[in-house]
Structure 1
Amino acid sequence: MSLAVWFSLLTACVVISFTPGAGAINTMSNALSQGWRRSIWGIVGQQLALIVHVAIVAAGLGLIVSQSEMLFNVIRYAGAAYLVFLGIRLILAKPAVTDMEDETGIDLREGHWSMIRRGFWVNLLNPKAIVFFLAFIPQFIRLDEPQLPQYLTLIITVMVVDVVVMWGFFATAARPFRRLTRSVRGQRILNSVFGILFIAVAALLVFLH
């Protein structure tokens, strides 16, 4: 991959990562409920999903998904249902103790693996991401050159940019509002806001083609 092509890839990745979506909402929600540092675990899960998306496209399966209305819809509705589930769970969530421990001293913070799994499924169950990568990747991959180094360069660039944007921008943008988590009322407001945002993204996934 030439330097000019890589700079084009880098620019495209920055623009894409700054586009708000379920991943950004998940990151900001994690930063508020779990703290800025711990929000990285959800971002890790989202990056694992990006690797799967690129692998699906590289293997030619992305074309199958894009051309099969039934398969596309199955993934689309599954993704929307998962986002609605996350939204409702947030809205109905019981406010946590502000110091993240209950009266017995048990840590109430969400586990790393739970955050990774949630981030993974939030990003993976988005068929439009597969279709997007299907249109995006060929612009930066030359068929007359070795494929593996190009795909490695692409996925590393996509992941690094997305981590920097998610953690450095979206998670950081949520930090000033973390003071609201110190009260029960503030937690309920934030949970409701992000719950509604998850449901709104689900609605867009279902109704916008």
Structure 2
Amino acid sequence: MTVDLWLAFVTASLVLCFTPGPTVFLVVGQALAYGKRSIVPLAAGALVGDIILLTSSFLGLGLLLAISATLFNFIKFVGAAYLIYLGIKAFCRKSVSINPNAGLASKECSFIIFRDALLVTALNPKGMVFFMAFLPLFISTAAPVMPQMIILAVSFLAISLLSVSCYALLSGFLRGHIAKPKVQERFNKLGGSLLVGAGLMTASMQHG
């Protein structure tokens, strides 16, 4: 793989990762709801979800999803329903304390945030299909394939982590400077609306 080819992949990945989608909307919504303390579990969950997507694609699940409209639609609607559920829950959430030592900063809450980010990222059938179609474009047949796949995968994961962290930091910063309960509730409603919107967007994705 040449440096130019790798730079082209990095550029394409930056555009893909920083373009708002289900994971970005989830990150923004959760960070608005829970503040800066949600950044680490959100980033970790999205990272593990991307690893699952990449691994599934390498194992051929992406190809199966590209062939089977039924399987694609099943995973799509499961992911969309989960996003909408999270959105409704966030929309109805009352204001929370932004004290970092509050109950919402507990390990249990961090695990829930991590789990939600992981599931929403991993339950993205378009992601699996995309990796199957996208990665081969940047792999040179004149060199061993596996080292190139590892380089591309690590590069993508780093860019994805950067994207999630930036969105979470910005949203968490905004939430962390809001103390009034009524304003916090507006942030909850905004975050919930983003999640419901992401669910509807996921449900409208077309196979192929």
TM above 0.5, yes or no, is yes
Q: Evaluate the alpha carbon distance shift between residue 54 and residue 143 of structure 1 in structure 2; reply closer, same or farther with a 3 A threshold.
A: farther
1:198 to 195, 200, 208: 195
Shift in CA distance, 33/203, structure 1 to aligned 2, threshold 3 Å: closer
Paired residue total:
203
CA distance in 1, matches of 2:87, 2:106: 16
The range that moved more, 127-136 or 139-148, is: 139-148
Identity of aligned residues (%): 28
Q: Deviations over 1:67-124 (max 9, x none)?
A: 10110011000000100111011011232234255xxxx6332533222211110101
Distance (whole Å) between structure 1 residues aligned to residue 205 and residue 103 of structure 2: 41
User: Quick check: 1:98–1:183 contact (8 Å CA) kept in 2?
Assistant: no
What does 1:147-166 align with in structure 2 at a 5 Å threshold?
147-166=145-164
Find the aligned partners of 1:161 and 1:125 in 2 and give their Cα distance: 19
The TM-score with structure 2 as length reference comes to: 0.88
What corresponds to 1:139 in structure 2? 137
Match of 2:125 among 127, 152, 162: 127
Q: Retained in 2: the 8 A contact 1:34–1:110?
A: no
Q: 2:104 aligns with which of 85, 108, 114?
A: 108
Question: Which has the higher relative contact order, 1 or 2, with Cα contacts under 8 A spaced 6 or more apart?
Answer: 2
CA-based RMSD = 1.9
Corresponding residue for residue 68 of structure 2:
68
- Of stretches 1-10 and 76-85 in structure 1, the one that deviates more from structure 2 is 1-10
Cα distance, 1:178–1:155 mapped onto 2, change above 3 Å = same
The 10-residue stretch of structure 1 (68-77 or 56-65) with the greater mean CA deviation from structure 2? 56-65
Change in CA separation of 1:107 and 1:207 when aligned onto 2, cut-off 3 Å: closer
Work out the CA distance in 2 between the residues paired with 1:173 and 1:97: 19
Superimposed CA distance per residue, residues 115-163 of structure 1 (whole angstroms, 9 cap, x where no aligned partner): 2211110101111111111221111123453232112111110111122
Q: Which amino acid aligns with 1:86?
A: L
Structure 2 residue 182 is the aligned partner of structure 1 residue 185: yes
What per-residue deviation string (whole Å, max 9, x for no partner) do you get for residues 152-183 of structure 1? Answer: 11111011112222213x12332234323x22
Are the structure 2 counterparts of residues 127 and 207 from structure 1 closer, same or farther at C-alpha, using a change threshold of 3 Å?
same
Unaligned ranges ≥5, structure 1: none
Contact 1:80 1:206 in 2 (8 A): yes
Task: Give yes or no for contact 2:23–2:117 (8 Å, CA) kept in 1.
Answer: yes
